[in-house]
Structure 1
Amino acid sequence: MTLVNRCRVHRGLDALPRLAAGGTGPVLLVHDAALDGNPGLAACHRLLAQSGAPVRVVPVPGACSLDDARALAPRLTGGRLVVAVGGGSLLDTAKLALAVADPLVARILAAPQRSGWVLGPDRPRPVPLAAVPTTLGTAAEVSGIVSYVHQEQKRAFTSLALQPEAALLDARCTEGLPGHLLVEGALELILRGVGPVAGSTGPWTAADEAALGLGAEAAALLTGIGATGAATAAERTALAELSVATQEAQLLQDRLPFTVKVWFLANNLAHRLGLRKMTALANLVPGYWRHLAARDAAGADRVARTWAALRGAVLAASPTAPAPLPADPAEGFAAWLALLGVTPAPAPAPADTEAVVASCLRMWGGGLPMLAGLGAAELRLLLGDLRVLRPPTPAYRAGALITSHRGGRKTP
């Protein structure tokens, strides 16, 4: 067991009976309604039954909006513990539903405001929360942030009070995870780890080295999975551990807030076009890295060192790759996405481009710190790069390797 801020991370599900002991009322087993047949969910049922605590099962559809959280909140009252089992969207919905039980938080979340970044108070939730992820890479099980939709905006809400009391990682929960979700999850944790390395402007630090080491380890795992055509329990466990590690203090120290500015553009692009978040983010990275490299010599050095670490890990893990990855960071990352079979993001039509740019400036820019340094012209260029930075045909598709779907879903 390790501690990430205030969240205790357990390896396996065996801690569930102990977490369910004591208190009054039932354990509320909240799960994605699409998880029927998931062996991890079945194990949660068995272990909670062994605890002797009464269990109330609460299936939940997959979306994550403020209205979804408000509808779920009354169903989570009167329990001793909430056990949330599902992908990032389900875990975010459970976190948000428990938060809106506090009238102050509910008012903050619904209040009209320009910024899409909502800060919440650190106030105790009414029921402890244990998070059991069935997808990889989101780190929703240990984070103090949720993404939610309200009034046609996809906002971010952050508060220490959102962080679960416990997270339980078990490979049974990700058994049968479809290949495209496996690839997305690995890419998400890689980009969350190395994104601040590429985007920072200060001197090189130990946190930079640690983040590149984590990213390289995840890239090697992803390459090995693609080469063998299977994801073992050990590989899924390793990716889950690396995802949690991206939230640990040693990777977050010496970081200024909002160093990964492309996340905000990807958030609004995905919401506008109905894309999966990682489809938008991964495809925007090549153009964003090119922008960072052109900023100054330090930016070029950081981007080059970031890609060199990932490229080296990929080539070492797959010496017989179909084609070498270019050394240029933008071209190389784009080629890697093609090799992994990541779906290209469609280049937005002019009207969509202007809508995304306007929403980004309203929610994250125009004097707000999230997009500081990126104006309308730069955002248009990054969106325009979606037309030119992706090879048209992948050499192979890791995303087609694992086809059964028991891991849960994650909405755009």
Structure 2
Amino acid sequence: MSEQPKQENGKYIYKKQPPPKQTMKQILFIILLYINDINGTIYAQENVDTLYYNRLGKIAANTLFAEYYPIALYPADSTCQKEFKDFYNSGELRKEGYFLSISSFDDSETVFDGEVRSYFRNGNISEKSHYDNGRLHGEYARYNDNGKLVAHAFYQAGELSGTCKKFNEDGSCQIVEYDAGKPIHDYYLLSDGDGNTLKFRITDNTPIWESPAITERFVDYRDGTPWEVYFKNGITIALTNSVIKDYGKWHRIDLIISNNSTMPIEFTPEFDISAYSTDAQGLTTYAKVWAHDEYLKKVNRAQTWMAIAVGISEGLASAGAGYSTSTTSGYSNRTGHFSYTTTTYNASTAYQANLASQQRIANFSQALQDEKNIKQMGYLKKNTIYPGESVSGYVHVERIKGKHVIFVINIKGAEYIYEWDFDRKNSFLPYNCR
């Protein structure tokens, strides 16, 4: 019979226990632990406590119901750290590290102090942590059974502090900033495997789309052309502006939209772009943004009238082809001076002229079609922009005379504001280059 446990400082300490049923491998390993020279200190058998815990970490009434057991090593020198190793009942190492005290009834009340590591049955590490007098303090990391990192955080005096990262199975990473155990912000940052990021509310996991401040806008030059650029909410939007004559007089805005967020974006230019013109007195007038189909209808009408005019002109020219006139003049004693005109028709000449006319009409029509195709390809239409994708093109905006023009791009409720001024050469410069 083993001695009854003695209570010291509210905890039961077993001084002697009957040996558990162990495999030979376990017995050899425990013997090695019993006689272990650490820092020159020899650990004796009577200084070793063996307890058994179930899956819930509670003391097991019978070793048959035990999930694991610890081996606690108490050094002869009380100033040295006390070391422990937990083992699964099947013999694999479960946990190791340093402690101040081990509870005889509930393993959750064990007081750790120093580095502690936990392991899966396959030998892969499951947790790395550091304790200071029973409280988590310092770097913490958790892994899955394949060795992949699933959580990384920092603790201070038992509370989360600093950046906490949670890695999801889909490759995304959830990032929260903590101070004294509480989130600093009401949102967390979600980043996917490609580095695309977006903010989400902690309370309901809904995305947050924030309008950027004007100070977040910067100017970038490409081949001497200024572009106003924003990077916000994982979205990059670059815009440049010019005034052109193209079946009308327009503000032509060229756009590049890159989606580096974690969600798809639906962009419809005529609905998601607003434009305003401001005169010298500060009066603001709304300027219409032309949709792709609407603009092409205007192009089609203009090209149709142009084609009709060319067709009429060529038709009149080809209708007279093949005909030639000659004038004969002379003198007669009876009638005096006379002249007469003779008209002749050459079918071959008329045919060749008609062919040439038809070719010119065809060339003109093809040129118009090519121009329309280019406009159709370049003009921005409704697009769904998925994470990692970009779209680029131009949009025509009604041109209203003024000193200042404003374009507002609306994406998911966030407004990206672009401002342009005229310079003395009647070309546009970004507002923040004044």
Whose strand fraction is larger, Structure 1's or Structure 2's? 2
Q: TM-score, normalised by structure 1?
A: 0.19
Q: TM-score, normalised by structure 2?
A: 0.18
Larger C-alpha radius of gyration, 1 or 2?
2
